[in-house]
Amino acid sequence: MIDSASIAFDIDGVFADTMSLFINIAQEEYKIDNLRYEDISCYYLEECIDLDPEIIRNIIIKILDGKHNAPLKPIDGSAQVLTRLGRSGRLLFVTARPYIGPIHDWILETLPLDSGLVEVIATGSFEAKADVLLGKNISYFVEDRLETCFALKDKGVTPVLFRQPWNRKKHPFAEVGNWEELEAMIDFR
């Protein structure tokens, strides 16, 4: 069981369904209708989907800046579990986004919690996550990028891999496929 005070979370691909938003923007704004969630089989999109790299970059910037018409939605069950956690203590989100942008506001709109209970840290790199987590006395981190899980483990943070099409390689980490499975691992005392 994971102590509820010792766990923190990535945002994109764990809490926020960012890849579905990516697909929605591609469809609505670029008329790209042949992209499916399952097609996103690697973290760096240019390596696994047949789209102009400039379009990929433009969509990512729209997501980071919150400049899109399609709504960003939480991954099923995430808001309920995170709200439950937030009611028993602080919530920490650590993202490799280069800046927080509007994601902090989205989190506060999505979770019915006092803003003082939610901390969001943008590290700008995957490698910087472990030091932030250790500095906040976090032992467990829920992450969707497999390479980051290995880096976290090397620094002494126990990763929990959130299963996604882009992390389907062999690994030694605890893994969850949904928020119900994750909730079962957490001690809410």
Are 11 and 32 in a shared domain? no
* pLDDT tens, residue by residue, 95-150: 999 999 999 999 999 999 999 999 999 999 999 999 999 999 999 999 999 999 99
CATH number of the domain encompassing residue 177: 3.40.50.1000
Contact 52, 35 (CB under 8 A): no
Inter-residue contact 133 to 152 (CB < 8 Å): yes
For residues 12 and 24, membership in a common domain is answered with: no
Q: Are residues 101 and 135 in the same domain?
A: yes
d(CA 143, CA 99): 18
pTM for the model: 0.96
* Domain count of the fold of the chain: 2
Q: For 37-72, what is each residue's pLDDT tens digit?
A: 999 999 899 999 999 999 999 999 999 999 999 999
Q: Which domain holds residue 33?
A: 18-65
